[in-house]
Amino acid sequence: MKLTHNRAVLLMVLVALMWSTAGVVTRHLESARSFEVTFWRSFFTVLSLSAILPLVSGRQVFAKLRLATPAFWLSAVCWSVMFTAFMVALTLTSVGNVLVTMSMGPLLTALIARVFIGHRVPMRTWVAVVVAGAGIFYMYASQVGSITLWGTLVALCVPIAGATNWTVTQHAHGQGQDVDLMPAVWVGGVISCLVALPLALPFQATAHDVALLGLLGVFQLAVPCVLSVRVAQVLKAPEISLLQLLEVIFGILLAWWGANEVPGSAVLSGGALVIGALVVNELIGWRQRQ
């Protein structure tokens, strides 16, 4: 099926919805905690991608890893940090805290790209950074002395790793060495499994937990990652950035509806500043490019 612009938009909305299910699902786990949650989700992600990648990228996809560049391996490490930190953060703090903190990704990307590869940061983005930073600071200030602060700090590793990943892949592209992202996701999942395994022992997850985490590995991570790569071939970066913000809204609503996790006032206020800054920044940039 030819992927038109409208179909790509709808598919990206579906991807955001699939990504947003992690929070509500983890709230229904019986015994699995922290790194065990990370291990099982990453394990099933690797398992499903092992079947999907040869169909999408050809049978030689894994053999080509022997020729991978340093940028590829650094990208894979970034993916592993994102996989691990995201799930650990969900076990330490609220879904809203994690998702709002992750939404800082586009702004952190602009800053890291400016520092390391010299990308120009428009004034509108600097303003957005200040406003969104105020929102995050407000969230942090309300959590001082509580375990949720540690969860939010762990969650912050996700957008930092994502921003680093984007900067590395863009720099490699500028050098004529494009990073194949889907195999990098697979390797990142393998690294996440290996790192989480010793920290996950002894296993406490019930069959119910393993089944839920298996669903996350396949339908919350592996499948939407493949779909998002396809969508990126049609939609422009600002459109994708805006549509990705739906993950925050979907995730908070699903946790509220499916796990009775009511977002706190600090999350709503700080989150509104962050999301508002991102939306205005992307819309102005989009209009200027038009």
- The residues, any chain, with a CB within 8 Å of residue 181's CB and separated by 6 or more, are 75, 169, 229
pLDDT band for position 86 (cuts 50, 70, 90): very high
Residue 104: name the closest of 81, 80, 75, 125 by CA: 125
pLDDT score of 188: 94
Q: 52: buried, middle or exposed (CB in 10 Å: 19+, 13-18, 0-12)?
A: middle
Please give the Cα distance from 254 to 101 (Å, whole number).
17
Find out whether 38 and 200 touch, Cβ atoms under 8 Å.
Answer: yes
pLDDT band for position 237 (cuts 50, 70, 90): low
pLDDT band for position 44 (cuts 50, 70, 90): very high
The residue type of 128 is: A
DSSP string, 10-34: HHHHHHHHHHTHHHHHHTT-SS--H
147 has pLDDT over 70 = no
Please give the Cα distance from 107 to 260 (Å, whole number).
31
pLDDT score of 144: 57
Please give the Cα distance from 48 to 70 (Å, whole number).
25
Q: Is the pTM of this model over 0.75?
A: yes
238 has pLDDT over 70 = no
101-134 tens-digit pLDDT: 888 887 788 788 888 877 777 788 788 878 877 8
- The residues, any chain, with a CB within 8 Å of residue 179's CB and separated by 6 or more, are 69, 71, 72, 75, 168, 169, 172, 173
Please give the Cα distance from 60 to 54 (Å, whole number).
7
The residue type of 282 is: E
Please give the Cα distance from 265 to 135 (Å, whole number).
12
193 has pLDDT over 70 = yes
pLDDT score of 34: 85
Please give the Cα distance from 133 to 130 (Å, whole number).
5
pLDDT score of 198: 94
pLDDT score of 289: 66
288 has pLDDT over 90 = no
Cα dihedral angle (122, 123, 124, 125), rounded to 10 degrees?
Answer: 60
Residue with tokens 């892949």: 169
145 has pLDDT over 60 = no
pLDDT band for position 73 (cuts 50, 70, 90): very high
Mean pLDDT of the chain: 85
Residue 16: name the closest of 199, 269, 255, 245 by CA: 245
Q: 83 or 117: whose pLDDT is higher?
A: 83
pLDDT band for position 213 (cuts 50, 70, 90): very high
Tokens at 237, concatenated? 């970066």
Please give the Cα distance from 130 to 124 (Å, whole number).
10
223 has pLDDT over 90 = yes
Range of the domain at 282: 5-60+68-289
Please give the Cα distance from 230 to 251 (Å, whole number).
23
Exposure pattern of 58-84 as b/e (b: 16+ CB <10 Å)? Answer: eeebeeebeebeebbbbbbbbbbbbbb
What is the tally of structural domains in the chain? 1
